[in-house]
Amino acid sequence: MAKNLSFSYSKMGMYKECPQKYKFRYVHMLPEKPKYYFAFGTALHAVMEFIFDPTKLTFPSLQQALQFFDTTWNKTSFEQKGYASAAKELEGYTEGRRIIESYYAANSSSFVHPLSTEMKSTLELDGLSLISILDRVDYLGDGKIKILDYKTGKTVQREPDQLYMYQKVVENSPTVRKLVLSKEPNVKEIRVAQLSFYHLPTLQEMTFERAADKEIFEFWQGVLQIADKIRAGKFDPTPGENQCRWCDYRNLCPVFTGKEYGAVSVEKASAPAQPTNVQDVLSEKIDRCGALEEEVKQLRQEIIALLKQHHFERHFGKNYQAVLSNTEKVEFPNKEKVIELLRRFQLLAKVLVPTQSTILHLLEDDSVPAEAKQSLRALTTQTMQETLSLKKTE
């Protein structure tokens, strides 16, 4: 019997964003870089679980909740959380404490114990092993359930797929049914009555009624279609400006490298595996290369300064000669106008991510209309800069 496919709302979201990204993360098992907003959200979710622990008879005080947040927050460094600096992490920490204090001020007088918090559910359904973590489940009586999901980002908006997934899980979960029957043994049917997103930074709650059976059916058919594509190994990339710009796997993606990740030549295929950690070796080489490039950059600046100081255009070392020349540097200082122009001429797809170099290539592309090239040139600035070239002497 075939093993059920491990699946979740987050996996589905990643596949819909880009199947190739899903492949990197869940087939090749390459971890993503730490993201500060994930660390921030995880810490606040842990606090909410601590506050509403259904196994405790009383609720913690504000000071106890803040202390719990401090302990949770300080378990990892700012780098491990994904913050750019200790100062940025401090901003996140301060905002976290503010949110907790505001939450207590607004809600502590009406705290009630939920049916469960951070409930981890694995539901075997239609060939899927459906993994879900429900932030909070409240029992409204008569078999009716309220699902509450905490949001910690800048904004909160309706996410139908997530609501549908939660409803599907809760109404089919043996774990939820067992919890409900422990409260009310004679319940015949478990039904989701409300689904809510609670935005912790603003203390705003968005509540929706149960989705109709027809909506859930259509949603579930879409889930099963995605699962079938994953089983069939369909991981074609779907590049786009936003998702590619911030993707952790960009340097490995065939869209940018021109080859499939992990592909080896026939000659190398039979070579014995090296007993090294590839990621550690690669990291060491990247750091070493970066340090050397920084040193080269500094040396070039010093050489140019000395050549200009003594009015030399050329000078020889024992093994190399240096030649100083002036080249024209073309830049696009107003990026917003450039992007607007690219959209007007439908050229964004050609550059994928608009950078100085990709836009410059459009000026040499025969398929780009002359009017577009003329408009692009009007947005450029030209400056002269010294260029140093090094050649090995004969």
The neighbour count for residue 385, using CB atoms within 10 Å, is: 10
Residue 82 lies in a domain: yes
Q: Please, which residues have CB within 8 angstroms of residue 195's CB and are 6 or more apart in sequence? A: 146, 147, 149, 163, 166, 167, 207, 208, 209, 210, 211
Among residues 82, 110, 138, which one ends one of the domains?
A: 110
Tell me: do 53 and 81 sit in the same domain: yes
Tell me: do 220 and 144 sit in the same domain: yes
The neighbour count for residue 365, using CB atoms within 10 Å, is: 13
Residue 126 lies in a domain: yes
Token pair for residue 174?
A: 């043996």
Tell me: do 102 and 79 sit in the same domain: yes
Range of the domain at 359: 310-392
Q: Number of folded domains in the chain? A: 3
**Pair 14, 22: CB distance under 8 Å:** yes
Tell me: do 333 and 374 sit in the same domain: yes
CA separation for the pair 193, 140 (Å, rounded): 8
> 55: closest CA among 138, 110, 116, 14?
116
Predicted pLDDT at 351: 59
**Pair 196, 148: CB distance under 8 Å:** yes
Predicted pLDDT at 267: 45
Residue 265 lies in a domain: no
Tell me: do 218 and 142 sit in the same domain: yes
Among residues 227, 255, 285, which one ends one of the domains?
A: 227
- Give, for all 394 residues of the chain, the pLDDT tens digit: 457 999 999 999 999 999 999 999 999 999 999 999 999 999 999 999 999 999 999 999 999 999 999 999 999 999 999 999 999 999 999 999 999 999 999 999 999 999 999 998 888 999 999 999 999 999 999 999 999 999 999 877 778 888 899 999 999 999 899 999 999 999 999 999 999 999 999 999 999 988 899 999 999 999 999 999 999 999 999 988 888 888 999 889 998 888 888 765 444 444 444 444 566 677 777 888 888 888 888 888 888 888 888 877 888 777 788 888 887 777 878 877 877 787 778 776 565 556 677 777 788 888 888 888 888 888 888 787 777 777 766 5
Tell me: do 174 and 205 sit in the same domain: yes
Tell me: do 88 and 137 sit in the same domain: no
Residue 256 lies in a domain: no
Tell me: do 177 and 89 sit in the same domain: no
Tell me: do 103 and 158 sit in the same domain: no
Tell me: do 66 and 27 sit in the same domain: yes
Residue in the block written with tokens 């993606």: 253
Among residues 76, 110, 144, which one ends one of the domains?
A: 110
CA separation for the pair 17, 15 (Å, rounded): 5
Residue 206 lies in a domain: yes
Residue 348 lies in a domain: yes
DSSP H stretches of helix in the chain? 9-17, 19-22, 36-51, 62-73, 78-81, 86-107, 160-172, 174-183, 213-231, 241-245, 254-257, 266-269, 278-309, 335-344, 348-351, 356-362, 370-378
Tell me: do 75 and 177 sit in the same domain: no
Residue 197 lies in a domain: yes
**Pair 24, 252: CB distance under 8 Å:** yes
CA separation for the pair 197, 150 (Å, rounded): 6
Tell me: do 27 and 99 sit in the same domain: yes
> How far lies 36's CA from each of 3, 29, 31, 70, in Å?
35, 21, 15, 16
